[in-house]
Chain A
Amino acid sequence: MALPTDPRSPGPKRPPVPTLTSNVQQGLPSLAEARELEVMLGARPSLWRRLQDFSGSSQMRACLLFLPPALLIFTLFVTWPVVEAAYYSFFNWNGYGAPSKWIGLENFLRVLNDPIFYHSLFNNLLIVLVSAFIQVPIALALALLISDKSRSSVIFRAIFFLPYILGEIVAGLIWRYIYDGNYGVVAVICRWFGQQAPEVLATEGWATAALLLVIVWKYFGFHMALFVAGRQGVGYDVLEAAKIDGATRWQSTLNIVLPLMRPVIVLSLFFSILGSLQAFAIIVALTDGGPSNSTHSAVSYLYNFGIKRMRVGFGSAIGVTLFIVCVLVMVFYKRLFMRPKEGR
């Protein structure tokens, strides 16, 4: 997910141009330099030649020592489990013994016929929409106010970023207290107006709205920090020019700064989607999916209906479905909004 327009991202690597001056004096070029010469002249050494070079060299030792740990642990705990999930999803299996009860696509049919699953995905979509239309504009506006290097801006940035570093569990519990209908802050405020406090988290609809508010509270600082970095990347020279030409602050922000920050905004929305697809702990701590399963996200649905009950086959089918959704969303988003530039 490299930011495509990041000028620092490495382009295609060019082989270093060897200098042979020193060796002209010493006679024959060294073995390494002979190889470099081959590269420079565009000659492709034979496979045998390359193997010969490679084996027994310090290069091979480094390869054999440095690469396997990463590949091994990554395969063992990341890629292979995804393949296994695809396999398990065809079984009715509680995780003990070997999976033996092949039931074909039944797990998938059950996932795809479960209204709670769609409701969970809908909540994921809501998170993205709220992020796009509420969180990102707030974060962007604040970022534009505090992207300079003044002391007050640095302090405000630190304050806004703070909720992001807190654990999701902590954020969820804090807000669970705030929403509490008896002891919470909401209850106290309601009593000021002589109202009986509603049990926000126990009311369908309100609970979802409450969750969305917590998510905005926790994550807007991260988006703000992205925008501050983006704003600083744009620089201030352009604005000086615009000011001389008589543009107001509002005009130059709208017509110069925002278009230049487009890549960062695209990236920020990308992270909203990614974060929404991972939302879990914050939901567990705040509502635990309730009331009547109305605040589940895709992952908390997976946890509640697959993992918690050790339905490995069913849970794997949810996982595979989620995986496909993720890949599709990512690919489409990248195709649509992130223009590939040279390089990666």
Chain B
Amino acid sequence: MESNRSGLFVYYRWLVLLLASGLCLFPLWATFIGGFKSTGDLRTNAFGLPREWITDNYVSIATGARFWQMLGNSAFIAFVTVVLTLLISSMAAFVLAHLHFAGKKWISNYLALGLTFPFATAVLPVFIRVRDLGLLDSYWGVILPQVAFNLGFAVVLLHGFFSELPNELFEAAFVDGCGYTRMFWQLTLPLSRPILATVGVLALIGSWNEYLLPLVMINSESLYPWPLGIMQYQGQYGTDWGKVLAFVSLTLTPALIFYLLAQKHIIAGLTAGAVKG
């Protein structure tokens, strides 16, 4: 009896999981395969393989300069954002974790304020600030506010991790005459790779997918990151869905490859980041 019920459970478990996976993956499948279909094919055949494989959409996008330019823009913005976020937040977190001075608590609470409200509430003044600094319509107009808004969660996560590093190490280094700057570079950072990876992945995915900030800050098409580029492309080709679907499929490929390569770390990092942040 017990084994029979257990067998039934296993059966239902697989049924539910496969069904859910299908619902989860189907939109992606339809998009990918839709890029190969003619409009007539799209109208009648949403689920199956194309009756006639049309590669024009994919080829013309992948050989065009526009696609690579916008991916390049996104990559540059994301890369600099990640590096600056890691550098600036880990330096601040190091001071907060290892040095003792008046007002320390106040500073760490101040930086944690960044966690309490969405970026959009302040986007207009940020726009005016960026404009007054002369950074409008440049990569930096996106990068600097992005880094600033990352600092809240980054400092909280790093501060927590840094405080748990074994104190004996730092005492030993101190006794040996190691200054704080060297301690930071040669002790803290190498020991903190897991948390740096977590913060880095959070910042990377956030920046790669960011839409509102570049929408407000960037005007020139040549500087468009992919979310802007893809919306513009969609506006241009409207319901020529074959083209749009091919474009969507190609733009999500880098994220997909990155995810397949580091899937375990990404899931662990994003959830751990969420729980501790």
Does B181 make an interface contact (CB < 8 A)? yes
The B118-165 residues at the A interface (CB cut-off 8 A) are 118-129, 144-145, 147-149, 151-152, 155-156, 160, 163-164
- Taking residues whose C-beta sits less than 8 angstroms from the other chain, chain B's interface range is 35 or more
Evaluate contact between A78 and B113: CB separation under 8 angstroms: yes
The listed residue (A158, A264, A267, A302) touching B120 by CB distance below 8 A is: A302
Q: Which residues of A contact B180 (CB under 8 A)?
A: 58-59, 61-62
The listed residue (A166, A284, A306) touching B231 by CB distance below 8 A is: A284
- Type the 1/0 row for A158-178, where 1 means its CB is closer than 8 Å to any CB of B: 111111111111100111011
Does A251 make an interface contact (CB < 8 A)? no
Interface size on A, residues (CB 8 A): 105
Q: Shortest CB–CB separation between residue A89 and chain B, in angstroms?
A: 10
Evaluate contact between B24 and A73: CB separation under 8 angstroms: no
Does A140 make an interface contact (CB < 8 A)? no
Does A229 make an interface contact (CB < 8 A)? yes
Q: What separation, in Å, do the CA atoms of A316 and B116 have in the docked complex?
A: 18
Evaluate contact between B21 and A156: CB separation under 8 angstroms: yes
Residue from the set A58, A65, A168, A327 with the largest chain B CB neighbour count within 10 Å: A58
Does B198 make an interface contact (CB < 8 A)? no
Q: Which partner residue on chain B sits nearest A159 by CB separation? A: B21
Q: What separation, in Å, do the CA atoms of A145 and B11 have in the docked complex?
A: 12
Does B57 make an interface contact (CB < 8 A)? no
Does A257 make an interface contact (CB < 8 A)? no
Does A41 make an interface contact (CB < 8 A)? no
Choose, from A79-87, A108-116, A128-136, A203-211, the stretch at the interface: A79-87
Known: A16-B171, A284-B231. A188 touches B43 (CB 8 A): yes
Known: A165-B266, A183-B239, A281-B211. A174 touches B17 (CB 8 A): no
Q: What separation, in Å, do the CA atoms of A175 and B31 have in the docked complex?
A: 9
The listed residue (B31, B125, B179, B255) touching A165 by CB distance below 8 A is: B255
Q: What separation, in Å, do the CA atoms of A221 and B28 have in the docked complex?
A: 15
- Type the 1/0 row for A309-337, where 1 means its CB is closer than 8 Å to any CB of B: 00010011001101100110010000000
Q: Which partner residue on chain A sits nearest B43 by CB separation? A: A183
Known: A63-B99, A169-B211, A169-B231. A326 touches B116 (CB 8 A): yes
Q: Which residues of A contact B126 (CB under 8 A)?
A: 77, 81
Q: What separation, in Å, do the CA atoms of A284 and B267 have in the docked complex?
A: 27
Majority SS of interface residues in chain B? helix
Q: Which residues of B contact A306 (CB under 8 A)?
A: 124
Q: Which residues of B contact A319 (CB under 8 A)?
A: 120-124
Number of A-B residue pairs having CB atoms within 8 Å of each other in the complex: 291
Q: Which partner residue on chain B sits nearest A189 by CB separation? A: B46
Q: What separation, in Å, do the CA atoms of A158 and B101 have in the docked complex?
A: 45
Does A258 make an interface contact (CB < 8 A)? no
Q: Shortest CB–CB separation between residue A287 and chain B, in angstroms?
A: 13
Known: A66-B95, A185-B30, A229-B272. A79 touches B113 (CB 8 A): yes
Evaluate contact between B129 and A69: CB separation under 8 angstroms: no
The B77-116 residues at the A interface (CB cut-off 8 A) are 88-89, 91-92, 94-95, 99, 101-102, 107, 110-111, 113-116
The listed residue (B208, B251, B263, B272) touching A158 by CB distance below 8 A is: B263
Q: Shortest CB–CB separation between residue A323 and chain B, in angstroms?
A: 4
The A180-225 residues at the B interface (CB cut-off 8 A) are 180, 182-185, 187-189, 191, 217, 221-222, 225
Q: What separation, in Å, do the CA atoms of A180 and B271 have in the docked complex?
A: 34
Evaluate contact between B120 and A1: CB separation under 8 angstroms: no
Does A271 make an interface contact (CB < 8 A)? yes
Q: Which partner residue on chain A sits nearest B240 by CB separation? A: A183
Evaluate contact between A65 and B211: CB separation under 8 angstroms: no
Q: Shortest CB–CB separation between residue B244 and chain A, in angstroms?
A: 7
Q: Shortest CB–CB separation between residue A125 and chain B, in angstroms?
A: 16
Known: A2-B276, A188-B45, A316-B125. A173 touches B244 (CB 8 A): yes
Evaluate contact between B272 and A73: CB separation under 8 angstroms: no
Q: Which residues of A contact B270 (CB under 8 A)?
A: 164, 222, 225
Evaluate contact between A183 and B241: CB separation under 8 angstroms: yes
* Besides A174-B27, A188-B46, 4 new A-B residue pairs in contact (Cβ under 8 A), listed by A number: A73-B151, A78-B151, A169-B227, A182-B43
Q: List 8 A-B contacts (CB under 8 A).
A: A70-B88, A73-B147, A78-B149, A88-B125, A145-B16, A166-B252, A249-B9, A277-B118
Q: Which residues of B come within 8 Å of A, CB atoms?
A: 9, 13, 16-17, 20-21, 23-25, 27-28, 30-31, 34, 39, 42-47, 88-89, 91-92, 94-95, 99, 101-102, 107, 110-111, 113-129, 144-145, 147-149, 151-152, 155-156, 160, 163-164, 167, 171, 174, 179-181, 184, 205, 208-209, 211-212, 216, 226-227, 230-231, 234, 239, 241, 244-245, 248, 251-252, 255, 259, 263-264, 266-267, 270-272, 274-277
